[in-house]
Amino acid sequence: MEKTLIILKPDCVQRRLIGRIVQRFEDKGLTIAGMKLMQIPNELAERHYAPHQGKPFYPGLIEYITSGPVVVLALAGQGVIDMARKQMGQTFGYEADPGTIRGDFGASKTYNLVHGSDAPESAETEIALYFQPGELLEYETPAHGWTFKPGES
């Protein structure tokens, strides 16, 4: 089962949107394999955003993601990375389509509510930054068979 990392960023937490956004992922049929509320320390933020180091927006990324509590989720499901990214919408809220998380709740270029891994490799790396071995659960809900047809990809 494919997994992805989702971070509900400080603006999402401060705006009290956690439940509404988690509900969207659950409504889609995705499984929460792990979830925690945390404050991301600078060192972890720097490791997470290492691919952007040296870019002009890098300091702002670090400042933003460490500015308040976040909710970190590991989601599981067939095609979860693509599904989650479609649900999130375009990076900038003012460009995101209505019906997406950023399209419905975002208007800012900076405060974009949510992060999602963009590929299986980055998902694996990012999940390992936030979850220790044994912290993720693998289980199926009764609705799983009605959400994902066996053998379908």
Q: Which residues belong to the active site?
A: 115
Indicate left, alpha or beta for 89 from its phi (over 0: left) and psi (-120 to 50: alpha). Answer: left
- Distance (Å, rounded) from C-alpha 29 to C-alpha 126? 22
User: 17: helix, coil or strand?
Assistant: coil
- Adjacency order of strands within the sheet including 3-8: 31-38, 70-76, 3-8, 114-116
Instruction: Identify which of 14, 113, 116 has the alpha carbon closest to the alpha carbon of residue 69.
Output: 14
CA distance 122 to 132: 16
